[in-house]
Chains A and B, each alone.
Chain A
Amino acid sequence: MAPKPQKRKKTKRAKTKMTLPVSEEAEPLNMESMGHPEIYPLVLTTKTQEIFNCRVEEDVTEEQPYKLIRKEDIFADFATRAAVSDFYPVKSIVQEYPGDELLLVYDRDFKYGLNFYLIGTEEGKENYLNPPELPEEQEEYKDHIPEETYIYKPPISKPWISLGSEKEIEEESVKDSTKQITYMISRKRSEFGAPIKFSDQNASSVKDAYIECTAYPDKNFTLKQLERDVGMQVVPQIKETSTQTRWTRPKNATTQYYPREFLEEEKEALGQSKTLTEFLNSVSTSVEIALQQNEIMNTFIHDWKCLAEEEGTFGDKTDTHLKEYQSFTDLHSLTEKMVTCVSWHPVIYGLIAVSVAVRLSFEERVHFSGKLLLQPSLILFWSFSDPIHPQLMLESPDDIFCFQFCPTDPNIIAGGCINGQVVMWDITAHADRIENIKAGGSRSKKVTLKPMFLLEPENNKEAMYIRHCAVSSIESGHRKVITDIHWLPDTFEINRLGNVFENRSGISCQLVTCSADCTICFWDIRPLKASTPQPQAEKKKEESIEIPFDIPSTFLHLDLSWKPLSKIRLSKGETTLDHCPTKLSLSEDNLLFKAQEKILAQSKAVKAGEMNPYQNLENALSNILKPIDDFCTKFFVGTEEGEVIYTDWKMERDPETGRFMAKKPVSLYTVHDGAVHTVQRSPFYKDIILTVGGWNVAIWKEGIMTGPLLQSCCAPKRYTSGHWSLTRPGVFYIGREDGYIDIWDLLEKTHEPAQSQNICITMITYIKPWTFSAKQQFIAIADYYGTLHILEIPWTLSHPSTNEVSSISHYFEREVKHLDYVEQRRKIREQEKREMELELEKKKVKTFQKSKEQLEAELKMDYESYLELEKNILSNLGLNKEKEAMSYMELI
């Protein structure tokens, strides 16, 4: 809003009354926007100015800018000049103007945009001419509607009526209550800005320099405390002292104590005392009840846990077949070979040793002997990682029919040859080679550090031919093929007489072999004490034999001069035909599943100590040994005729000749129809033996002399090999001559095998299962054509069910009882038979003794009784002779 101007008014009248046609234009512009709706700016030409006598600077000046124009004049102008008239825009205003004179103001400064303006209302005229005294009245200008006429009345001052506002004003106003004190402080001008010096002054030194208000106890404000909260704690009296001991030197001090004990007399005295007896009386009932409770039932048994059979089956439960894993065949051999013996390496995973022999009968061997000499007889070491090339090949002078790893050192192998020699190998030097086979070919490639294309396949995979270390003496050993070889466990030793001694050396150092020449020999691998000094010439001869450099000298002392420790001949008595042993089973066959941990521990110990006890075999002999009493020196032997002999290896003195002779066998049974090829103790029970031969299987218990616990009936095919299962006590595997393997499960069926599976097309010659872990168990099956099949045993066959061991032992106990029962029944039957025979005889005797008269009397009585009988029958039928006629009459 523009500030309100101080208005000076001028009135001018316009007198023209002519009504001009009002154009349809809107209201003429007024300064309403500026707050003055009555002001109408106009442009007056000089002509108009002359007419109305409002020429600029003449009639209308700065001092007197207004002129009153009569309305009639304006109307006359309208009439004369019509639309050209300058007053045309405000025509309507002029017409409506109530008064006679209109005020026209000269707008020198062009305040409202044009050089003149017209006041459209009376009021405005009045206001212009007579500006109001009080500014408040200017407010009213805004409300003016141009139609209204406003008569200006100057305000009249009235006396002020107090409405009470002055009191408020007085209250609110700030007035000085007191007169303000004014000070005038002057100072010398020179002192302004001068440095100031401050000094200290003690307040009390100057009088009245300070005013203080001293405290004084006011009676009104003293309080007497009547209650007080106090915390109390009881603390034991502690006194701390310290002392320093003098420590001269360290000294060992020990204490030993023993528990207090009563002396014998005291014990007796107490025992007799009455209080004790009373106590026992009072207590015995409750103790008895408790004991009986436990006997009756185990209250803490976990029924749920005991209900479950397995903790978790690994693999399919229904899968009961052996799965083919791998098979090994020697492809480099020229002649056809068969596998004679199989043995897993006791320590290294996946390594299996196989002995092969040519498939020729005796005559053919003689015929082809020249050709056979050129081919080496081998024991092959196969590894899972390489099915084509054997890892190691052990050479032997002739075909090996049986061999075994030494239980205390898996690098020593003993084998029995077809010619009756015992052969020893020491592969300690090559142990690294076979140990690192685990990862397959990759590891060996790393070792050689050659790129792939440079490697010749043969270099890497060339199997090592390892010559044997020692062979036994040809004259003093066996004469015929060695059929079985065993290492004696390292817990005992045998001397020449068969007496058992403690084994101090901690290693297995003795072997036992049996051969087709009806002897069983015990061998010792340690060097014999030189009992007779050997003649110098012979020594020289031996020295001249050059030993190839790569053969370890472990058994050099044995080579070609090895004699058995003792020989036992299994003779049948007077006849020259002796028993021909095929397999042995000693009382401690520890080589099955416990061997692994033992061997690992021992091989570690050996490596740590770096002293292989086998290298120092001479030391082992010098120990003076303690004999073991109560050692069972009996063992089982299976023979070629199918007999199972239980005999003793201890020699006894023959009273006639004074020489030491083998004892007679304790028991002998012929149960098998063919040669017995498996005599094996169960890994779970020390006294259960499995014998397989001919067409049937028998299970024996050591100590039961009456017969086998179980004897199977004849199978359709011949059984050629057998082995107990290593983890399940009631399972054993039997191989047949048609390539089938029968799996027997004593818990399932005892009259026939539980399962039968085909492995190969030819006769199975050897079965050997082996456990690697709880989940992986393999079985190696060797056949007549020289192939070794490795199969995986499924979970069901390898994992024993809970309580299987106890069930099987119960079964065996039942069988033992059954045998007893059978024996007793037999006795009873014999008794009965005898009694029956006696009675029959008695009867015969009795009838003969009757005399003639008695016979006649008897006959007569018989006849009379017969007559009576006839009478009775006839009367019953109604056919008596007296009544015959009448009956006939009646009929008519």
Chain B
Amino acid sequence: MINPVEWPLVGSLKAVATLFTRMCAGRETGFNLGAPSCIPIKSTMDNPTTTQYANLMHNFILKARSTVREIDPQNDLTFLRIRSKKNEIMVAPDKDYFLIVIQNPTE
């Protein structure tokens, strides 16, 4: 298991961007940051793709969260990963915001 690296407290959006560009140095495609109303705040991809991802993911996150909660009300959704043939979509949800990262996992 990988030891999670201790990241410094992120103070601003700019720092976040640098953080993720470091992540994107690998084979990642892009990420975007959405508000609860599923409107994207910041993204590395072009605008139409960003909005599309944000809108589609919003419903999916709500559904997933409600599923987890229905099975066990004490439980909550922490992370969501959708693996497809071409890439992997990872979503980290929160009560206010969510973060979507798209990565190409194949060697």
Question: Residues on A close to B: CB < 8 A?
Answer: 259-262, 267, 270-272, 275-277, 279-296, 298, 300
Most buried by A among B19, B41, B78: B41
Distance between A352 CB and nearest chain B CB, rounded to angstroms: 40
A270-B16 contact, Cβ under 8 Å, with A281-B9, A283-B94: no
Q: Which of A275, A284, A287 has a CB less than 8 Å from the CB of B96? A: A275
Chain B residues near A296: list those with CB within 8 A: 2
> A35 to B107, alpha carbons, bound, how many Å?
122
Residue contact B12 to A267, C-beta cutoff 8 Å: no
> Which residues 53-106 of B sit at the A interface, judged by CB distance below 8 A?
55, 78-79, 81, 83, 88, 90, 92, 94, 96-97, 99, 101, 103, 105-106
Most buried by B among A261, A284, A292, A293: A284
> A753 to B81, alpha carbons, bound, how many Å?
49
User: Which residue of chain B has its CB nearest to the CB of A295?
Assistant: B26
Chain A residues near B81: list those with CB within 8 A: 290
> A296 to B3, alpha carbons, bound, how many Å?
13
Chain A residues near B78: list those with CB within 8 A: 286
Residue contact A284 to B97, C-beta cutoff 8 Å: no
Chain A residues near B88: list those with CB within 8 A: 294
User: Which residue of chain A has its CB nearest to the CB of B37?
Assistant: A260
Chain A residues near B39: list those with CB within 8 A: 259-262
Residue contact A290 to B79, C-beta cutoff 8 Å: yes
Distance between A453 CB and nearest chain B CB, rounded to angstroms: 63
Distance between A278 CB and nearest chain B CB, rounded to angstroms: 9
Residue contact B13 to A283, C-beta cutoff 8 Å: no
Residue contact A262 to B96, C-beta cutoff 8 Å: no
> Which residues 1-18 of B sit at the A interface, judged by CB distance below 8 A?
2, 4-5, 7, 9-13, 16
User: Which residue of chain A has its CB nearest to the CB of B28?
Assistant: A291
> A673 to B26, alpha carbons, bound, how many Å?
46
**A279-B99, A296-B2 known, 9 other contacts, Cβ within 8 Å:** A270-B35, A276-B13, A276-B97, A277-B10, A281-B10, A283-B92, A287-B99, A291-B101, A292-B2
User: Can you pick out 12 interface pairs between chain A and chain B where the beta carbons lie within 8 Å of each other?
Assistant: A259-B51, A261-B51, A262-B39, A262-B41, A271-B13, A276-B97, A280-B99, A281-B10, A283-B92, A285-B5, A286-B79, A291-B26
Most buried by B among A262, A282, A296: A262
Residue contact B42 to A271, C-beta cutoff 8 Å: yes
Distance between A761 CB and nearest chain B CB, rounded to angstroms: 50
Q: Which of B2, B37, B41, B79 has a CB less than 8 Å from the CB of A267? A: B41
> A231 to B10, alpha carbons, bound, how many Å?
65
Distance between B95 CB and nearest chain A CB, rounded to angstroms: 9
Distance between A367 CB and nearest chain B CB, rounded to angstroms: 66
> A270 to B7, alpha carbons, bound, how many Å?
22
Residue contact B105 to A279, C-beta cutoff 8 Å: no
Q: Which of A275, A276, A288, A293 has a CB less than 8 Å from the CB of B5? A: A288
> A271 to B40, alpha carbons, bound, how many Å?
11
> A284 to B7, alpha carbons, bound, how many Å?
8
Chain A residues near B103: list those with CB within 8 A: 291, 294
Distance between B53 CB and nearest chain A CB, rounded to angstroms: 11
Q: Which of A270, A279, A287, A300 has a CB less than 8 Å from the CB of B83? A: A300
Chain B residues near A259: list those with CB within 8 A: 39, 51, 55
> A293 to B101, alpha carbons, bound, how many Å?
14
Residue contact A293 to B19, C-beta cutoff 8 Å: no
Residue contact A287 to B107, C-beta cutoff 8 Å: no
Interface residues of B, count at CB 8 A:
40
User: Which residue of chain B has its CB nearest to the CB of A285?
Assistant: B4
> A300 to B85, alpha carbons, bound, how many Å?
10
User: Which residue of chain A has its CB nearest to the CB of B92?
Assistant: A283
Residue contact B4 to A288, C-beta cutoff 8 Å: yes
Residue contact B51 to A284, C-beta cutoff 8 Å: no
Residue contact A288 to B7, C-beta cutoff 8 Å: yes
> A291 to B94, alpha carbons, bound, how many Å?
19
Residue contact B12 to A272, C-beta cutoff 8 Å: yes
Distance between B23 CB and nearest chain A CB, rounded to angstroms: 5
Residue contact A277 to B94, C-beta cutoff 8 Å: no
A267-B42 contact, Cβ under 8 Å, with A262-B35, A280-B16, A287-B92: yes
Residue contact B94 to A282, C-beta cutoff 8 Å: yes
> A286 to B79, alpha carbons, bound, how many Å?
8
Chain B residues near A261: list those with CB within 8 A: 39-40, 51
Q: Which of B27, B33, B41, B92 has a CB less than 8 Å from the CB of A286? A: B92
Q: Which of B2, B5, B41, B94 has a CB less than 8 Å from the CB of A271? A: B41
A279-B41 contact, Cβ under 8 Å, with A271-B12, A288-B5, A289-B4: no
Chain A residues near B55: list those with CB within 8 A: 259
Chain B residues near A271: list those with CB within 8 A: 12-13, 41-42
Contact flags (1/0) for B39-55 with A, using CB distance below 8 Å? 11110000000010001
> A291 to B35, alpha carbons, bound, how many Å?
22
> A404 to B23, alpha carbons, bound, how many Å?
51
Chain A residues near B16: list those with CB within 8 A: 277, 280, 284
Distance between A266 CB and nearest chain B CB, rounded to angstroms: 9
Chain B residues near A279: list those with CB within 8 A: 94, 96-97, 99
Distance between B96 CB and nearest chain A CB, rounded to angstroms: 5
Residue contact A293 to B2, C-beta cutoff 8 Å: yes
Distance between A274 CB and nearest chain B CB, rounded to angstroms: 10
Chain A residues near B94: list those with CB within 8 A: 279, 282-283
> A352 to B76, alpha carbons, bound, how many Å?
69
Distance between B4 CB and nearest chain A CB, rounded to angstroms: 5
> Can you list the 7 inter-chain pairs with the closest CB atoms, starting with the nearest?
A271-B13, A283-B92, A294-B105, A259-B51, A279-B94, A279-B97, A285-B4
Most buried by A among B16, B35, B81, B92: B92
Distance between B51 CB and nearest chain A CB, rounded to angstroms: 4
> A285 to B78, alpha carbons, bound, how many Å?
12
Distance between B6 CB and nearest chain A CB, rounded to angstroms: 9
> A53 to B82, alpha carbons, bound, how many Å?
144
> A725 to B40, alpha carbons, bound, how many Å?
49
Most buried by A among B5, B78, B97, B106: B97
User: Which residue of chain A has its CB nearest to the CB of B13?
Assistant: A271
